[in-house]
A and B are shown apart, each in its own frame.
Chain A
Amino acid sequence: MLKIENLRFSYARREAEILRGLELELPAGKVGILLGKNGCGKTTLFKSVLGIEKPGEGKISFAGKELNSFSPRERAKLVAYVPQHIHFGNLSVYDSILMGRVAYFGSKAGESDRAVVDAIISEMGLESFAERNAEALSGGEKQKIAIARALAQEPALLIFDEPTGNLDMANEQLIIREARRLAEKRAITILSSLHDLNQALQMGDCFYLMRDGVIRYAGGSEILTPEHIREIFDIDIRIIEIDGEKIIIGGKQHETL
């Protein structure tokens, strides 16, 4: 389980806090979706979990172990990251994925590292891409390679920052399916941010509605009510059900008197 307790963070001592005593619990092997407006602190929360930013206060633990007690290399073997903006520096797809093993091999990749990469390439059906320049691929393909690179770290916790942000509809579906498959097959716990509420419903098991640096509501899909959404996003939505599946319609700016 990923457990975050009383997390506080500000970029400078005198600046306003971005995270204000944030609490979050995500059960192991589940997909948790963070929902909130831009600037509410989602990326800062991710950076804190990844060890990129040091929180001022609070505790982040995974599987009972506090993440701050790990060295960067050991932490990278536990937590991996798929960023929103992906760059590979003109490496081949194979080398880009192999780069995910750098925490294991240090300066020279060994046979075991290549075996891990080969298995991921085969599992994700990337054989035909392997020798291509990763930077020249389409948005959806790049996203898949970034997931493969993160998987090469053999993490137990995977952080996705807006995984469908720059993708077309077909690729959005592909990435959502891939994320769910990974969580189930590899028993990886996933924490992701998403803007699209319907995609969130498709991808997530647990939902966290975030505003002003705190989680206001946490739970299953039942917390995605028009009232909660209005409180978090300042928009009015309607929820309908077709064949037992929830669909969120609307997104009109909420008018206050």
Chain B
Amino acid sequence: MLLLLAAVLLMSFTCLLIGSSHMSIRECIEALSGRGSASQIRILRSIRLPRVFAALIAGAGLSVSGLMMQTALDNPMASPSTLGVSNAAVFGANLSIIAFSGGYLSTGHNVENYTAAASPYATSLLAFAFAALSILLILGLCRIKSFSPSVVVLSGIAMGSVWTAATTVLQFYATDVGLSAAVVWSFGDLGRASYKTDAIMLLVTVPGYLVFACYRWHCNALLSGDATARSMGISVDRLRFTMLLLSSLITAVIVSFLGIIGFLGIICPHLVKKLMGEDHRITLPLSALSGSLLLLLADTLSRSMGNGSALPVGAVTSLLGAPFFVGILLSKKGE
């Protein structure tokens, strides 16, 4: 645990030192302490630092959400987006960009006008609104039917398909500019982070994590099966509802601000469980730390490989994580 924490701190610091402005380590440290040039201080404090905070918070949030989804649904393929949260957020963002983005539809599709009119907060807000709507619809449906894992997963798949179809229809009627803006939004990008967005993500992720931590023994009991957990005094449906709601809310906020960062919510909890077992007292903090570490690493690589412009960090998490993940699955330690 301490080793992972040290790795996260080291990676955070490394992340601060790397960027397209090619500042030296000394310049970075000076700028961080407020002694460099105004532009250097601005780069460090207003661009790199919020980006590192975003990676720390979003990585931990998505990874912990994935772990909770997998436990709640007793399904190793469950991810933070199992309730169709990401699909709904993408629809909301597309709606905002394609249909409501200021005057761009009526200004001859002028890119400059579009950029000037589009508000990132409006897009995030609408993305979150639809993600929240999706969560409420699915949890509402499950409340009527049941909170059995199969009902939740199938409802999530169905709802996700509806949002994807609706997004396709929207994109069909979009202009080239709108379409490309919408597609670019869906790429996960930590560059959109600011202190304000970091604070909002933190305000959702930290209380969510603390609630999960309070339920760590209940989650362990859930691994014994629903009937056994109930016989130990656990209100399984209430626990499942809480876990699904909080995981989806954390995911919805992160996706709404940063776009889709795929695979991280599956890979990190899996790696932790393969290496350390399933005890939530251990997997919960380790999933959070490994999520932060992977996202920091992926972001650093995405900025190093993009030749001046960062590659989508979501693609890098998958490219980076998948081979490592398969390696662990095939290794003896993972048996």
Q: Are both chains from one complex?
A: yes
Would A91 and B234 count as touching, CB distance under 8 A? no
- The interface size of chain B toward A, counting residues with CB under 8 Å, comes to 23
One of A70-78, A219-227, A237-245 contacting the partner: A70-78
In the complex, chain B residues 197-235 whose Cβ is within 8 Å of any chain A Cβ: 213-218, 220-221, 223-228, 230-235
Bound: A50/B227 CA distance, A: 9
Which residues on the B side are within 8 Å of A47 (C-beta)? 227
In the complex, chain B residues 231-245 whose Cβ is within 8 Å of any chain A Cβ: 231-235
Would B279 and A107 count as touching, CB distance under 8 A? no
Would B278 and A103 count as touching, CB distance under 8 A? no
Would B225 and A83 count as touching, CB distance under 8 A? yes
Would B231 and A91 count as touching, CB distance under 8 A? no
Bound: A101/B35 CA distance, A: 56
Which residues on the B side are within 8 Å of A233 (C-beta)? none
Of all chain A residues, the one with the shortest Cβ separation from B235 is: A72
Would A103 and B232 count as touching, CB distance under 8 A? yes
Of all chain A residues, the one with the shortest Cβ separation from B238 is: A72
Most buried by A among B213, B228, B232, B233: B233
Most buried by B among A73, A74, A89, A133: A89
B277 CB–A CB distance under 8 Å? yes
Would B233 and A88 count as touching, CB distance under 8 A? no
Would B233 and A72 count as touching, CB distance under 8 A? yes
CB B218 to nearest CB in A, in angstroms, measures 7
Which residues on the B side are within 8 Å of A159 (C-beta)? 231
Would A107 and B214 count as touching, CB distance under 8 A? yes
Would A87 and B224 count as touching, CB distance under 8 A? yes
Would B228 and A81 count as touching, CB distance under 8 A? yes
Would B233 and A77 count as touching, CB distance under 8 A? yes
Would A102 and B232 count as touching, CB distance under 8 A? yes
Of all chain A residues, the one with the shortest Cβ separation from B273 is: A90
Would A88 and B224 count as touching, CB distance under 8 A? yes
Bound: A71/B238 CA distance, A: 13
Would B225 and A91 count as touching, CB distance under 8 A? no
In the complex, chain A residues 91-129 whose Cβ is within 8 Å of any chain B Cβ: 91, 95, 99-100, 102-103, 105-109
Would A107 and B220 count as touching, CB distance under 8 A? no
Bound: A184/B115 CA distance, A: 80
Residue from the list B218, B220, B230 in contact with A51, Cβ < 8 A: B230
Residue from the list A52, A71, A103, A107 in contact with B216, Cβ < 8 A: A107
A105 and B220 in contact, given A52-B227, A72-B234 (Cβ under 8 angstroms)? no
Residue from the list B214, B224, B234, B235 in contact with A89, Cβ < 8 A: B224
A87 and B221 in contact, given A52-B230, A75-B233, A102-B232 (Cβ under 8 angstroms)? no
Of all chain B residues, the one with the shortest Cβ separation from A89 is: B223
Most buried by A among B213, B214, B220, B228: B228
A52 and B217 in contact, given A83-B225, A87-B224, A91-B277 (Cβ under 8 angstroms)? no
Which residues on the B side are within 8 Å of A65 (C-beta)? none
Which residues on the A side are within 8 Å of B279 (C-beta)? 89-91, 95
CB B107 to nearest CB in A, in angstroms, measures 56
Which residues on the A side are within 8 Å of B235 (C-beta)? 72
Bound: A85/B232 CA distance, A: 16
Which residues on the B side are within 8 Å of A79 (C-beta)? 231
Which residues on the B side are within 8 Å of A192 (C-beta)? none
In the complex, chain A residues 39-95 whose Cβ is within 8 Å of any chain B Cβ: 47, 50-52, 71-77, 79-81, 83, 85-91, 95
Bound: A89/B70 CA distance, A: 13
Bound: A85/B228 CA distance, A: 10
Of all chain A residues, the one with the shortest Cβ separation from B225 is: A87
Which residues on the B side are within 8 Å of A80 (C-beta)? 231
Would B217 and A99 count as touching, CB distance under 8 A? yes
A164 CB–B CB distance under 8 Å? no
Which residues on the B side are within 8 Å of A76 (C-beta)? 231-233
Bound: A107/B219 CA distance, A: 10
Would B233 and A133 count as touching, CB distance under 8 A? no
A143 CB–B CB distance under 8 Å? no
Of all chain B residues, the one with the shortest Cβ separation from A76 is: B233
In the complex, chain B residues 162-206 whose Cβ is within 8 Å of any chain A Cβ: none
Most buried by B among A87, A91, A100, A106: A91
Would B233 and A83 count as touching, CB distance under 8 A? no
Most buried by A among B217, B218, B231, B233: B231
A91 and B228 in contact, given A72-B234, A75-B233 (Cβ under 8 angstroms)? no
Residue from the list A88, A102, A133 in contact with B234, Cβ < 8 A: A102
CB B240 to nearest CB in A, in angstroms, measures 14
Would B230 and A102 count as touching, CB distance under 8 A? no
CB A105 to nearest CB in B, in angstroms, measures 7
15 A/B residue pairs, CB under 8 Å, sorted by A: A50-B230, A51-B230, A71-B233, A72-B230, A72-B233, A75-B233, A81-B228, A89-B224, A91-B223, A91-B279, A95-B279, A107-B213, A107-B214, A107-B217, A133-B277
**Cβ-closest 4 pairs across A and B:** A89-B223, A76-B233, A103-B233, A81-B231
Residues on A lying within 8 angstroms of B by beta carbon are 47, 50-52, 71-77, 79-81, 83, 85-91, 95, 99-100, 102-103, 105-109, 133, 153, 159
